C-alpha cells in the first residue's frame, strides 16, 4: 500500500503527515518512536538519497508520493539508476507553502469512505441538453481547431449581450471581453497581467484558495481583511486602514464563496469611493451571480466611475451546471484588457473551440432558464438549511452561491478539520473545513462549508445520516 506523506522535523520532534489521511499528523517526540511505528522489515523511503538524512534537516521537506513498502528491508537504497523510488517532489518557492487543494483532498476522501460529497462545489446532475447538443453540433461542424486567442467572436458577443442585460453596461466584445479556460484562468491572467511584484492586493478572508496561490505566483503582497460571522459584513474602517500608496487592487467575490454573503449596495458604494480616491483597481469574481437568492446581485463595474478600473470575472460552470467545461471570461476596459490578454496568450493561448460555440448558445438561454435555475436551487437550499438546523448546527445566513457555512462547535470537536474528519469517517458526509481559506487558520476553526448543488435525494440522505449519527455535546 502506498502512503504519500510529508515529514517535518526539528530538533525536538518529528511530524509525519500522510497526505491521504491529511487530518492525522503523527507527531513523535523522538525519532526512535518513529521507527518503532513501522515493522522491522519496513523500508522508509523518504525519497532522499542519503540514508538516515531524513531527520537531520530542520527544513520542512515536502515529500509526497513516497511509499512505505512492507516488502523491502532496511538496507542500502538502490542506486538511483536502478531505483523505481519516486524522487522528492520539487516546487518553486512561490508555491512551496501550498498543499493539494482542499477540494481535491475532500473529494478523494469522499470516494475512499463512500461518503456523501457536500464538499467540492460541483453539481451531481447534468447541464442542460440544449447546451450539450450545441457542443456536439460544433464538433460535428468541424469547429475543432485553435480558437482565436481572446475568444470565438460569437461567444465574445454573447458575453457582451448577457453583460448588458445584467448590468446595463454596453461593452465592446472585441476590445473588452477575453474568453479564458474557466474563471480560475481569468483570475490568473488578470493578476499576472496587471500586478507587479511587490504590489499590494487586498483580499477578504475567507477567500477562494486560488487567490492566494495566484497572487503568490505574481509576487504580490497580500493584505487581508477578515469577514466575520454572523453577517460577514465588510469592516469598512479596517479596509480603509490597510490601503496604502502601494495598494494596486482589491480582489473581491460576490456572491461570496464560502460564506454565501453578497456585497450590499452600501458596501459596494463605500468600496467604490475608496478605490476612486486611492486609484485602486477592482478584480471582481462574480461566478455565482445567477445564484443570488436573498437580494439582487450588483456588479461593482456598473457603479459610477468604476467600469474603467474594474475587471469583472465570470464563467459558465455554475450557471449551467457544467463545471468541467472550464469556460470563463474577463470583462474590462481596453487598457486593462491589454494586460489580461498578454498573460492569457502565454498561459493557455486559447480555450476549447467547440465548447466556446456551445457556451454562446448557453448564454442566450431565455430568461425562463435563469428563473428555473434559481427556483431549483432555492428548493435545494431549503432542504439543506432546514436539515442542518434540525441536526443542531448554527447555520449562518447565505444570500447567494450554492454554499452555506455553519458553526460546528455544538458537536464538541476541537476544530473544523477534526470535525470534517469525524463527519467523513463516522457519519459518511463530506464538508469543507474553512480554515484553509484564511491567512490565519485559527479564524476559520469553528466553521465548515456545505454545498447544496446536489440532487434533493442526496441532500436528504446527507441530512438523515447527520441526524442519526451526530450528537450535540451535553
The site for ligand GLN (CB under 6 A) is made up of 101, 103, 120-121, 257
Shortest distance in whole angstroms from residue 326 CB to ligand GLN: 10
Q: Could you give the CA distance from residue 421 to residue 18 in angstroms, rounded to a whole number?
A: 14
Q: Could you give the CA distance from residue 67 to residue 75 in angstroms, rounded to a whole number?
A: 15
Question: Are 165 and 157 in contact, with CB atoms under 8 Å apart?
Answer: no
Shortest distance in whole angstroms from residue 257 CB to ligand GLN: 5
Q: What is the DSSP string of 155-208?
A: HHHHHHHHHHHHH-----TTTSEEEESHHHHHHHHHHHHH--TT-EEEEEES--
Residue 6 vs 120, nearer CB to ligand GLN:
120
Question: Between β-strands 200-205 and 247-253, what pairing exists: parallel, antiparallel or unpaired?
Answer: parallel
Residue 103 vs 130, nearer CB to ligand GLN:
103
Q: What grid cell was written down for 282? A: 477592482
Residue 163 vs 437, nearer CB to ligand GLN:
437
Shortest distance in whole angstroms from residue 65 CB to ligand GLN: 20
Residue 6 vs 315, nearer CB to ligand GLN:
315
Residue 306 vs 432, nearer CB to ligand GLN:
432
Q: Could you give the CA distance from residue 330 to residue 342 in angstroms, rounded to a whole number?
A: 13
**Chain-centroid distance, C-alpha 231:** 21
Question: Are 188 and 210 in contact, with CB atoms under 8 Å apart?
Answer: yes
Shortest distance in whole angstroms from residue 404 CB to ligand GLN: 12
Q: What is the DSSP string of 318-354?
A: TTTT-GGG--EEEE--HHHHHHHHHHHHHHTSS--HH
Residue 213 vs 222, nearer CB to ligand GLN:
213
Shortest distance in whole angstroms from residue 104 CB to ligand GLN: 6
Shortest distance in whole angstroms from residue 438 CB to ligand GLN: 15
Amino acid at each position: 500500500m502506498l502512503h504519500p506523506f510529508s515529514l517535518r522535523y526539528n530538533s525536538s520532534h518529528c511530524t509525519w503527515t500522510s497526505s491521504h489521511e491529511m487530518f492525522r499528523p503523527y507527531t513523535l517526540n523522538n525519532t526512535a518512536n518513529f521507527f518503532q511505528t513501522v515493522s522491522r522489515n519496513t523500508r522508509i523511503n523518504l525519497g532522499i538519497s542519503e540514508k538516515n538524512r531524513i531527520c537531520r534537516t530542520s527544513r520542512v521537506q515536502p515529500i509526497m508520493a513516497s511509499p512505505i513498502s512492507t516488502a523491502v528491508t532496511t538496507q542500502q537504497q538502490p542506486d538511483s539508476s536502478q531505483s523505481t523510488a519516486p524522487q522528492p517532489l520539487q516546487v518553486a518557492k512561490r508555491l512551496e507553502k501550498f498543499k493539494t487543494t482542499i477540494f481535491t483532498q475532500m473529494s478523494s476522501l469522499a470516494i475512499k469512505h463512500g461518503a456523501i460529497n457536500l464538499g467540492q462545489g460541483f453539481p451531481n446532475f447534468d447541464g442542460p441538453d440544449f447546451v450539450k447538443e450545441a457542443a456536439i453540433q460544433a464538433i460535428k461542424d468541424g469547429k475543432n481547431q485553435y480558437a482565436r486567442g481572446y475568444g470565438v467572436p460569437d461567444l465574445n458577443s454573447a458575453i457582451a449581450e448577457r453583460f448588458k442585460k445584467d448590468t446595463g453596461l454596453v461593452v465592446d466584445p472585441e476590445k473588452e471581453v477575453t474568453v479564458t479556460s474557466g474563471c480560475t484562468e481569468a483570475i490568473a491572467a488578470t493578476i499576472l497581467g496587471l500586478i507587479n511584484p511587490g504590489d499590494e492586493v487586498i483580499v477578504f478572508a475567507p477567500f477562494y484558495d486560488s487567490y492566494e496561490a495566484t497572487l503568490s505566483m505574481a509576487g504580490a503582497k497580500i493584505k487581508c481583511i477578515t469577514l466575520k460571522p454572523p453577517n460577514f459584513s465588510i469592516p469598512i474602517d479596517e479596509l480603509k486602514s490597510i490601503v496604502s500608496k502601494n495598494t494596486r487592487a482589491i480582489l473581491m467575490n460576490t456572491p461570496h464563496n464560502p460564506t454565501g454573503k453578497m456585497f450590499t449596495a452600501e458596501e459596494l458604494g463605500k468600496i467604490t469611493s475608496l478605490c476612486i480616491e486611492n486609484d485602486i483597481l477592482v478584480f471582481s469574481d462574480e461566478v455565482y451571480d445567477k445564484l443570488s437568492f436573498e437580494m439582487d446581485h450588483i456588479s461593482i463595474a456598473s457603479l459610477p466611475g468604476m467600469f474603467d478600473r474594474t475587471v469583472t470575472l465570470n464563467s459558465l460552470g455554475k450557471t449551467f451546471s457544467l463545471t468541467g467545461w472550464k469556460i470563463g471570461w474577463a470583462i474590462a476596459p481596453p487598457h486593462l484588457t491589454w494586460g489580461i490578454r498578454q498573460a492569457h496568450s502565454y498561459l493557455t493561448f486559447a480555450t476549447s473551440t467547440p465548447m466556446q460555440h456551445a457556451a454562446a448558445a448557453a448564454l442566450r438561454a431565455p430568461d425562463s432558464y435563469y428563473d428555473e435555475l434559481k427556483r431549483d436551487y432555492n428548493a435545494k437550499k431549503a432542504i439543506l438549511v432546514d436539515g442542518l438546523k434540525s441536526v443542531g448546527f448554527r447555520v449562518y445566513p447565505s444570500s447567494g452561491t450554492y454554499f452555506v457555512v455553519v458553526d460546528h462547535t455544538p458537536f464538541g470537536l476541537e476544530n473544523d478539520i477534526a470535525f470534517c474528519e469525524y463527519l467523513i469517517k463516522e457519519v459518511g458526509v463530506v464538508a469543507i473545513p474553512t480554515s484553509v481559506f484564511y491567512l490565519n487558520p485559527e479564524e476559520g476553526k469553528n466553521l465548515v462549508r456545505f454545498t447544496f448543488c446536489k440532487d434533493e435525494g442526496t441532500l436528504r440522505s446527507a441530512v438523515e445520516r447527520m441526524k442519526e449519527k451526530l450528537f450535540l455535546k451535553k
